[in-house]
Amino acid sequence: MTSQPVHDRLDRSPTWTIQGVFDPDKTGQDFSYTIGLHELGLPELHLWASPTDGPDPGDGWAFSHRDRTAILNQLASRMVDGRLAPGSTVVEKFDQGHVSVTFQIGTPGDREALEALGIAPGAEVLPVHWSLEREPIGPSLPMSPAARQAAFDEYASVVRSLPPRRAAAPEGWQLTPIPDFGADERFGPRTPVVLARAAQLWSSADLRPWIGESLPFASMGSLMWPATVSHALARPAGRTQALQELEREAERLVEHVVVGRSGEWRRAAHAIGKRHGFEPDEWDRLAETAHHALAEMTMSVLCVEAVADLAGQDLLLAARGPWIAACDPGCALPGPAWSAGPNVVRAVRRVLRPLALHEWSAIVHAHDEAHAGEAYAELSWELRQRYFTQAAGMPWRKLADLPAGREVKHLVRRGQDWPLMVEWASCLSALLTHRPAYSAEQVATFVAPVRHLLPDLERVVNAL
C-alpha cells in the first residue's frame, strides 16, 4: 500500500472494470489493467506494480492492486474526458508528498506480452510507464534534546499503561530498566518507545479486542498506509534498515502472540464471529483474517513510533488510534488530539446546547436502537473509524460544560465521561468534518433516529 486510500464518494461510476494479476512466485511483477474502455471507443490501460522507468527500481515500494485500481480509474476518467492520450505525462505525489511518481502513457503495446488477456479481441492496450522519485537514504543521526525528552515522556506514559504483572516478554522485546535513545539502537533512536508499544500487545490479558478492532479498521484498507509513509520519512534520517528489521520482527511478534495463544485466539475469533452472525464454517477463516489484520496494525504503529519525531500529527493519529482502540476497548475517543476542528466543535455544541439532560439521553437511546438497522450501523461504524484515525471526534471536555453536560457531572463520578454521548457526538463531528464524502441519503440515515429531537440537524449538516 503506497497511497492513503481515498474514502470520498466519486461522482462518476466507471463503466469499466479493473483486472488485477498477482504473481504468487514473486519472480515477476504484479499488474492491473482496464476492461471496458474499448466499448467506449478507447484503448485499455495497463499498469505495473513496480517502476518501469527511472534510476530508482522501487526497492520496498510498489503499488498494491487497490492503488493500481484508483490510479487506472483516474487515468481512464481523464481519457474519457479527452484529457489523456498516448504521450501524455501525469505527475502525482504519494506518501504525504514525500514520493513523486511520473506516469507516461505509452503507445499501443502487445497484449500477449503485457498479459492483458481479459480485454476484448481487437482492443488496443496502452502501457502506463512510470518512474519513482524519493529522498535518498541518509546517515543515521541522533535525535535532538527536545525529541529525546519527548520520546522519554512517551515511553514512560506507555509503560505506565502496562499491567503490573505480566508474562515474560518474547525474545528480543524485553523492556530495559534504563531506556537508551541512541541512534545506533536496534530500531533506531526511538527503540524504547517501540518496545513499550509492542508490550501493550504481548502483555494483553484479553485477545478479543485485538480481533474486534483490527478487523473493522482493516476493512477500510488503510492499516498499512502509516507504515508506508514511515518508510519514506526514514530514508533521509538513516533509519531505513532499522524499519526493515522492525517489520520482520513485528511479524514474528504477532506470530508469537497468535500461535503461542492459538486456543485463546480461535475462541475469541469464534465468539466474535458468532456475535456478528458469521456461520460456524467461517469462524476459522475469520481467525486467519484477524491474524493478518493484527500483523498490519502492529507493523504500522511500531513503524510510526520509530519515526514519530519526524512524523506529522495526522500520521500519528492514523497509526495510534486503532491500536488504542484495541488496547482500551472502552475508550470513547483515543485522546484530545483526535478532536475535530474549531468550526465543527462549535457546530456540534450549538446543536446540543439547547437540550436538557433527558433529551441527551433520548439521543443516546435512539442512536443505540438505530444500530439494529444495517445502513445506520455501517454508517456509524465508518464514522467511528474516521474519528479514531483522524482529528474528527468530539472529546467529552467539549461537551461537559454545556448545560446537560454539567448535570451529568453532578450525577456521575467527577471527571468521568459519558461514552455513548461522546460516540454519537463524535459521529456527528466526523460527518461534519468529512461532509463531501457522504451522500444526501447517508446524511438522512444518520439524522433519521433523532429527527424528532433535532428537526434542524439535517440542514446544519448540509450547511457547514
Instruction: Return the amino acid letter for 163.
Output: P
Bridge pairing between strands 44-48 and 125-134 = parallel
- pLDDT bin (cut points 50, 70, 90) of residue 7 is very low
Closest alpha carbon to 190 in 251, 144, 138: 144
Interatomic CA distance for residues 380 and 141, integer angstroms: 44
pLDDT of res. 4: 40
Which of 206-220, 334-348, 375-389 has the lowest average pLDDT? 206-220
Chain-centre distance for alpha carbon 368:
25
Each residue's pLDDT tens digit, 53-108: 999 999 889 998 889 999 999 999 999 999 999 999 999 999 999 999 999 999 99
**Locate cell 454545556: which residue?**
402
Interatomic CA distance for residues 351 and 458, integer angstroms: 11
Closest alpha carbon to 306 in 155, 189, 138: 189
pLDDT of res. 6: 39
**Locate cell 508499544: which residue?**
197
Contacts of residue 116, Cβ cutoff 8 Å, sequence gap at least 6? 19, 33, 44, 46, 125
Q: Is 257 helix (H, G, I), strand (E, B) or coil?
A: helix
Mapping DSSP onto H, E and C, the string for 141-195 reads: CCCCHHHHHHHHHHHHHHHHCCCCCCCCCCCCCCCCCCCCCCCCCCCCCCHHHHH
Q: Is the pLDDT of residue 446 over 50?
A: yes
Q: How many CA atoms lie within 13 A of 59 on its CB side?
A: 9
Average pLDDT, the chain: 92
Q: Is the pLDDT of residue 9 over 50?
A: no
Instruction: Return the amino acid letter for 283.
Output: W
Task: Yes or no: say if 220 and 5 are a contact pair by the CB < 8 Å rule.
Answer: yes
pLDDT of res. 232: 95
Q: Is the pLDDT of residue 464 over 50?
A: yes
Contacts of residue 97, Cβ cutoff 8 Å, sequence gap at least 6? none
**Locate cell 514512560: which residue?**
156
Interatomic CA distance for residues 280 and 417, integer angstroms: 37
Each residue's pLDDT tens digit, 337-347: 999 999 999 99
Q: What is the DSSP letter of 448?
A: G
pLDDT of res. 12: 57
Q: What is the DSSP string of 352-367?
A: HTT--HHHHHHHHHHH
Interatomic CA distance for residues 237 and 31, integer angstroms: 31
**Locate cell 535518498: which residue?**
136
Interatomic CA distance for residues 383 and 278, integer angstroms: 23
Q: What is the DSSP string of 393-435?
A: B--GGGTTTSHHHHHHHHHS-TT---HHHHHHHHHHHHHHHTG
pLDDT of res. 415: 60
Each residue's pLDDT tens digit, 33-51: 999 999 999 999 999 999 9
Task: Yes or no: say if 52 and 129 are a contact pair by the CB < 8 Å rule.
Answer: yes
Each residue's pLDDT tens digit, 349-361: 999 999 999 999 9
**C-alpha cell at position 268:** 475469541
Mean pLDDT value of segment 217-240: 89
Mean pLDDT value of segment 186-190: 97
Instruction: Return the amino acid letter for 142.
Output: P
**C-alpha cell at position 18:** 479493473
**Locate cell 541518509: which residue?**
138
pLDDT of res. 341: 97
First to last CA, the chain: 33
Q: How many CA atoms lie within 13 A of 341 on its CB side?
A: 7
Q: How far is CA 286 from CA 267, 277, 447, 458, in A?
A: 11, 12, 33, 37
- pLDDT bin (cut points 50, 70, 90) of residue 11 is very low
- pLDDT bin (cut points 50, 70, 90) of residue 3 is very low
Interatomic CA distance for residues 364 and 370, integer angstroms: 10
Q: Is the pLDDT of residue 28 over 60?
A: no
Q: Is the pLDDT of residue 5 over 70?
A: no
Q: How many CA atoms lie within 13 A of 2 on its CB side?
A: 27
**Locate cell 455501517: which residue?**
378
Each residue's pLDDT tens digit, 135-170: 999 999 899 999 999 999 999 999 999 998 778 899
Q: How far is CA 365 from CA 111, 329, 374, 450, 454, in A?
A: 58, 20, 17, 10, 14
pLDDT of res. 221: 65
Mean pLDDT value of segment 370-380: 95
